[in-house]
Structures are given as C-alpha cells and as structure tokens.
Amino acid sequence: MKNILKQYQIEILNIGGRESLYEFELNDAFFEVFEQDLIKKGNLKAKVSLIKSSVMIEAEFDILGEIELVCDRSLREFMFPIDTVNTIYFKFSNKNEEVSDDVVLIKEDTNYINLAQYLFDIVGVAIPIKKIHPDLITEKDNEEGDIFIYSSVSDENELTDNNIDILDPRWEALKKLKDAF
C-alpha cells in the first residue's frame, strides 16, 4: 500500500526556474494508506504548482472534490465538498524541519519531495470541527455558527418553572431547594 504514495513524489531536479504543474487524484486508496479514522473515502483532484528559486520551492495546492464524513448528530454518512487553496514554502537549509504550517526546511541536497502527507493534511484541515449532515442543518445553525440546543419543548417560552417537572421529574428536588430560599 505504501507504494501508492510514490506517485506523489516530485524530483526537485525536474523543477526548473519556471512554474511546474502537477495533477494528482486523491481517492479511497490514497486515504487508506494513512491508517486513520478521519477520512475513509473521497474523490478529489489536486493541482500543485511548484516554483523553484535558489533559496526555496513555493508549492501552491489547489484541491477540489468531495470526501465522505460521518455526521456528529445522526452518525449518517454524507459527502462533504472540499475546495481549498494553500501554499507551502520549502526552504533550503542544512537540516530537515517543519517550522510552521506553511514553512518546511529541507536539506539542500534533497532529491525529492513527497507531497502525499501535505495533501492529506490540507484536506484534513478543510474539514469543519462540527460535521453535520446537510439534511440536519437548520437556520439556527447557520445564524449562530453551528450552535444547536436540544430541547423537547417546541417553543422556548413554554419552558417555565411550572412545567419543568413535567419534562423531567428529577428536577423536583432542585425545585424544592429553590423554593426554600
């Protein structure tokens, strides 16, 4: 399975001073290699533009497609669209080190860069914290930034001290404490 990642390997010598374009497909086999639970299935196309200078390689990733996610509320699977553009700078140095999310130091004698992990990470960052099936998104979710309050009462005004014990009889003891003060 690790041989699949070889197709995401770019030889640095092949990158000239001009822009070099590469296209990759990120499919189910690609995501299986990473042995993780975040993304199992997907169909994405990645266009990577590389520009090499004497001190660095600028890599612009343009990824478009969709991945399968599991809804946090209903546990139903759904296809989530991905459309993201990110840039990573590979700067030549005397050591290999990831300085930040978008700056990576590579040794000057490095022969190739494997973009697979960077592609996976960019897709992973594009996934929202709350994964909600499109059928379950409400106006309240959109207005309040995906905040959803579960309630068994249809109207918020109906929730009063008088009917709280109807909703949950365990509140009766707390209600007596409140009345005592």
165, 178 Cβ separation under 8 angstroms: no
Strands 103-107 and 77-93: parallel
Checking if the pLDDT of 150 tops 50, the result is no
90, 113 Cβ separation under 8 angstroms: yes
Report the pLDDT averaged over residues 123-141. Answer: 84
Give CA–CA dist 61/88, Å, rounded.
Answer: 8
Element (H, E) at 53: none
Q: Band of the pLDDT at 160, cuts 50, 70, 90? A: low
45, 66 Cβ separation under 8 angstroms: no
Checking if the pLDDT of 141 tops 70, the result is no
34, 2 Cβ separation under 8 angstroms: no
Domain boundaries, the chain: 2-133, 136-180
69's CB contacts (< 8 A; 6+ apart) are 39, 77, 78, 79, 80, 127, 131
pLDDT the model gives residue 152: 42
140 or 53, greater pLDDT: 53
Report the pLDDT averaged over residues 126-150. Answer: 69
pLDDT digits (tens, 9 = 90+) for 79-100: 999 999 999 999 999 999 998 8
Checking if the pLDDT of 154 tops 50, the result is no
Q: Band of the pLDDT at 63, cuts 50, 70, 90? A: very high
Q: Band of the pLDDT at 145, cuts 50, 70, 90? A: low
40, 68 Cβ separation under 8 angstroms: yes
pLDDT digits (tens, 9 = 90+) for 4-59: 888 999 888 777 777 889 999 999 999 999 888 889 899 999 999 999 888 899 99
Mean pLDDT of the chain: 82
Q: Which of 3-7, 72-76, 148-152, 168-172 has the highest mean pLDDT?
A: 72-76
pLDDT the model gives residue 88: 95
Checking if the pLDDT of 144 tops 80, the result is no
pLDDT the model gives residue 1: 53
Checking if the pLDDT of 159 tops 60, the result is no
